[in-house]
Amino acid sequence: MLSYTFCVIAAVATFLVPCHAQDKCTGILGLPGTPRANELPGRDRGDCLRGEPGPPGLPASFDTALRKVLISLKHRLARLEGVLALNAKITEVGEKILASNGREVNFASALKSCEEAGGTLATPMNEEENKAILGIVKQYNRYAYLGIKESETAGQFTYMNGIPVNYTKWRQYEPNGKGTEKCVEMYTDGGWNDRKCNLYRLTICEF
Ligand code: MMA
Ligand code: CA
């Protein structure tokens, strides 16, 4: 697969960058050289003349073996996800996986435990994700902190990376903290409220 990808990129690059000076063949790597028995193709300088064959490669059978490994890993992952979803340990929404440890802690601790697990606090980017997070909020019947914070400018809320939110689900009259409630909690109806960051709220992470 990788050698194929490389080949395509090299071919396109060769197509896009015509060679003007045959004596200055210093361009990008070119099309593969002719493979010898039990070797992967070498790589020549495709912007100009065919170059030297690449160094001896791995057996072509390696590619087939890697495909098999990938297929079995996919199966294994699908089964693990099935088990976790069946036991309501994870929720999959689009490309995201949501999970809670069931703990209620302050905002900083919730964020820390999500990050230590390789994720971040659940951050709804659209209605579908908000509903998926709401499912977990309802499961535990506890309000949850979201991965959203108020910036230095009161009333302006951003994702953890500082980018302003572009989807919101504020409840009526929210946000009303005007700089005094810098975190955001999700209620059991899915609506949002700006709230102080030192309360005990359900930890929901996204991965
Ligand atoms: C009310 C409402 C919220 C605010 C909290 C703070 C219970 O909800 O005014 O917007 O965040 O009070 O306690
Ligand atoms: Ca509020």
pLDDT at residue 51, as a whole number? 82
Which residues contact ligand 1 via a Cβ below 6 A? 174, 176-177, 181, 193, 195
Residue 161 to residues 127, 164, 177, 203: CA-CA distances in angstroms?
21, 9, 21, 19
Q: Which residues pair with 93 in a beta bridge?
A: 96
Confidence of residue 48 (pLDDT cuts 50, 70, 90): low
Residue nearest to atom 12 of ligand 1 (CA): 195
The pLDDT of residue 45 is above 60: no
Domains defined along the chain, listed by start: 2-84 (no CATH), 92-206 (3.10.100.10)
pLDDT(68) > 60: yes
Q: What is the pLDDT of residues 9-28, one digit of tens each?
A: 333 333 333 333 333 444 45
Is the per-residue pLDDT at 121 higher than 80? yes
Q: How far is the CA of 108 from the centre of ligand 1 (A)?
A: 20
- Among all chains, which residue has been given the structure tokens 């309360």? 199
Give me ligand 2 centre to Cα 105, in Å: 18
Give, using CA atoms, the residue closest to atom 9 of ligand 1: 176
Question: What tokens does 38 get?
Answer: 């039990």
pLDDT tens, residue by residue, 163-201: 999 999 999 999 999 999 999 999 999 999 999 999 999
pLDDT of residue 172: 98
CB 44 within 8 A of CB 11: no
pLDDT at 38: 57
Average pLDDT of every residue of the chain: 85
Averaged pLDDT, 130-159: 99
- Report the pLDDT value the prediction gives residue 10, as an integer from 0 to 100: 37
Q: Looking at residue 157, what is its pLDDT?
A: 99
